[in-house]
Structure 1
Amino acid sequence: MTGGTIRALGLAGAVAAVSMAGAGGAQAGAFGLREQSAQGLGVAFAGAASGGAGVSSIFWNPATVTMRPGFASEQSLSFINLSGEITPTVGTAPGLLPFGASGEVGQGAVVPSGATSYQLTDRLWVGIQTGAPYGLVTKPRQDWAGSVYARSSRIFSLAFNPVVGFKVNDWLSIAAGPSIEYFRLTLRAAVPVSGTFPGLYPSGFIKGESWGVGFTAGVLVTPAAGTAIGVGYRSSVHHDIAGSIGFPDPRQAIALGQVRANLNTPEKVSVGLTQAINPVTRINLGFEWDNWSRLGDVGIVSRALGVTVNHLPLNFKDSFFYSIGAEYDWSPNLTLRAGFGYDNVPIDFSNRSARLPDSDRYVVSIGGSYRWSEKVLLTASYAHAFFDRGLLLAGPGRDYNIGNIPLAASTDVSADVVSVGFRYQWDAPAAVAPAPLVRKF
């Protein structure tokens, strides 16, 4: 690998990393983010583990790095418009009902991501994927009926995933690499103060950040021309989050000092199948399992006192995502896509909170890619998520209970995602290795 190649590979990763400053929003169950590829969005991420998400398939299965000959970089930019409202119902504390619904809790967010693959020999590849595997921004009105349970919630993450892929033979590839992850959260809520009118409750907060390391691994099998089967694994990442907790009375915050919390992100297993039906048509199938049940009751511990001073009763369940998509080469330069997915999320009535009014959803997507030149490929995709309506209950006898203040509500959520992508082929791959068996784009 030449010095110029090394610099270009590093630059591709650095550009994606710097651009992550605006990441946020949640579109993959709980606070997970699936928006790592504009191409993948067009087929509802079906077959992402078998190469259906382009170079960015590395996120789901690092072994897909061996599918693309030569030196290629891909950047995607996704705008997630999350919309939702929490409406109090009978069962909410009577004194809070007049403060009404949350208003719009969703916040639009831009999520960049990128991936680069480089072929060293006829059997060895290296690559890197950068993106935000987790993110969330919800912000109800300052004073609403549930302000003691949520005023704002922000989760930000950034992951670097360098990988090494090896083609064992003509039909089997394996790959693995570390996952270096940054995680930050800030949670705010109203704090009940005796003698203070509920609408004038001051705010308290919990915030902290952490770096953690995990790994990714994967296998890709191409048993016949036009068929690709992939299985990828992303490990849990342990975060020892260090931060602070704030109260209206500064003496309380000083007494507690710095706080910490242990949080383990979920493992992910992705399975993908891509099958060519004819020379211009491909079907993609996808399945993802996320071990969200790792996130139980997260304790907030005072470093100075060594005791638990607060907690986040997440108590998530495992999530499952099923998807199907199709690609059709309208012409040598234009490929069209469509997909459908069902997301069985880790949140239901037992653990739904005002911070994250999530529910099962159905995803419908369309997209396309246009080959501008031999080196440049442009992609655009759109998806809409239909969320099931949900019910929320907090207060006495529930995991979420602040001062025995009851909150009963219904939730109404939807999401739109628009993603654009740009791929650049740095070299002439035809001179390095045969074209990929499965797809042109």
Structure 2
Amino acid sequence: MNMIGRIGLLALAGVSALGLATGAQAGAFGLREQSAEAEGMSFAGAASGSGGVSSMFWNPAVITMRPGWVSEQNLTYIGLHANIKPQVGTNPAFLGLGESGDIGQGAIVPAGATSYQLNDKIWIGLQTGAPFGLITNPNKVWAGEVYGRSSRIFSLAFNPVIAYKVNDWLSIAAGPNIEYFKLTLRQALPIPGILPQNYPSGFLKGDSWGVGYTAGVTVTPWDGTVLGVGYRSSVHHDIDGKIGLPFIFAGQAKANLNTPDKVSVGLTQAINPQTRINLGFEWDNWSRLGTIPIIAPAIGGVITTLPLNFKDGYTYSIGAEYDWSPALTVRAGFSYEEVPIDNQNRTVRLPDNNRYTVSVGAGYRWSDKLTLTAAYSHIFLNQSRILAGAGQNYNVGNIALAGLVDASADIVSVGFRYTFGAPAAPMPAPIVRKY
């Protein structure tokens, strides 16, 4: 292979070894910000309806808990803060380039959910939101630049569902999940003969539409107790895009990605007419994201691989809400998440670690039809280490990187629920007259 070929192969391997993007609220690049109401309890009981109609993200069967025509709209600001400090063990030519700076970028995440009761047995609903994504942007020149200069991921899902109330204690629901996925990744391109601080940037970008489904069930064995179980399937994405290597190559790139499927379990228990306790558990099948081939047809099929090698993610949560008055409800919650990232697969684009979340929130009933909601969460991430280079999961040109990560996140959510009206009354039986 000639010099241009070797440089091209190195560059492709580097760009493809970027990972995707740093998630904030859910592990890896997942997002959980679909309900301001559930945010106030760290999403405890989301699958059993603690997030109102917006809980249909976790379990579509919860829409049978709200009569009539109900719409909820939520807006969340995610402020991720993360800094990567290079440590001894980093390639000496890069160590002096310094820290990443704050790689976190503020992001606004909208989400909405609407349900409509057709009759005493059937509801239809629609949930929209961003299940994956965020933005990271370290300093352009820094010690880990060959592993990441910037990353951007955007997703949008449309989830129409139909729910059936079997009887007073059992409801079921299901529907398709239509998902758009887009990513743009940039990193320094290591070219022999050029100083690291002058490396140009290569990029990988692409997008895809995919379809999966959601399903769920709620059980209300007696008044005051709700158990909910929901499932979101994996969505297969055939990502089609471009790869750009300055001075060398720019052309088509393809990759296949299967998003993780999710199982959510929630329990809501009323302690008294004013107080409810919520418990939650989520399992995210991130381990299905193993090694992803990157295909550059112009160069000849699979040019390199993306060794994500994630593990499964688990989240445990507890929360409570109290009706302070007929108009005001206050909430609080706590969660612990075991993320799919550890010392073996952590990168500068995914400097994730197990985290603790503390949340508070409130809802104000403005009128019989309008309820306003707000919540705040702070995420504490354990300090973590990054190792990349020869012999590690991520390796670009045997350029060693040893980094120490300090990270946290602040999340603010606001939303409202508007009830348009009660369900239409059933048609009266026809009057039969004799003449």
TM-score, normalising length: structure 2 = 0.92
1:49 aligns with 2:47: yes
1:203 aligns with 2:194: no
**What RMSD over aligned residues (CA atoms) do the two structures have, in Å?**
1.4
1:216 aligns with 2:217: no
Task: Report the Cα offset of residue 299 of structure 1.
Answer: 1.3
Contact 2:107/2:134 (CA < 8 Å) preserved in 1?
A: no
2:70 to 57, 72, 84: 72
Task: Report the Cα offset of residue 306 of structure 1.
Answer: 4.2
Match of 1:107 in 2: 105
Amino acid at match of 2:87: T
1:88 aligns with 2:82: no
Task: Report the Cα offset of residue 305 of structure 1.
Answer: 4.3
1:384 aligns with 2:384: no
Match of 1:192 in 2: 190
DSSP-derived class of the 1:66 partner: helix
**Alpha-carbon displacement from aligned partner over 1:360-386 (angstroms, at most 9, x marks no partner):** 000000000000000000000000000
Contact 2:40/2:361 (CA < 8 Å) preserved in 1?
A: yes
1:356 aligns with 2:354: no
DSSP-derived class of the 1:56 partner: helix
TM-score, normalising length: structure 1 = 0.90
1:323 aligns with 2:321: no
Query: In the aligned structure 2, how far is the partner of 1:180 from the partner of 1:282?
Result: 34
Contact 1:88/1:410 (CA < 8 Å) preserved in 2?
A: yes
1:274 aligns with 2:300: no
Unaligned stretches of 5+ residues in structure 1 = 1-22, 433-441
Match of 1:183 in 2: 181
DSSP-derived class of the 1:331 partner: coil
Match of 2:146 in 1: 148
**Alpha-carbon displacement from aligned partner over 1:41-98 (angstroms, at most 9, x marks no partner):** 0010000000001110000000001110000000000000000000000000011111
Query: In the aligned structure 2, how far is the partner of 1:35 from the partner of 1:227?
Result: 25
Amino acid at match of 1:280: Q
Task: Report the Cα offset of residue 166 of structure 1.
Answer: 0.1
Amino acid at match of 2:33: E
Percent of aligned pairs sharing the same letter: 67
1:230-249 matched pairs, under 5 angstroms: 230-249=228-247
DSSP-derived class of the 1:57 partner: helix
2:369 to 370, 375, 392: 375
Match of 2:413 in 1: 419
Query: In the aligned structure 2, how far is the partner of 1:245 from the partner of 1:428?
Result: 53
Query: In the aligned structure 2, how far is the partner of 1:97 from the partner of 1:354?
Result: 15
**Alpha-carbon displacement from aligned partner over 1:315-338 (angstroms, at most 9, x marks no partner):** 110000000000100001110000
Match of 1:404 in 2: 398
Amino acid at match of 2:306: L
Query: In the aligned structure 2, how far is the partner of 1:120 from the partner of 1:290?
Result: 33
Q: Indicate the structure (1 or 2) with the bigger Cα radius of gyration.
A: 2
Between the two proteins, the alignment pairs up a number of residues equal to 406
**Alpha-carbon displacement from aligned partner over 1:130-176 (angstroms, at most 9, x marks no partner):** 00000121110000000000000111100000000000011000000
Match of 2:27 in 1: 29
2:56 to 52, 55, 58: 58
Task: Report the Cα offset of residue 310 of structure 1.
Answer: 3.2
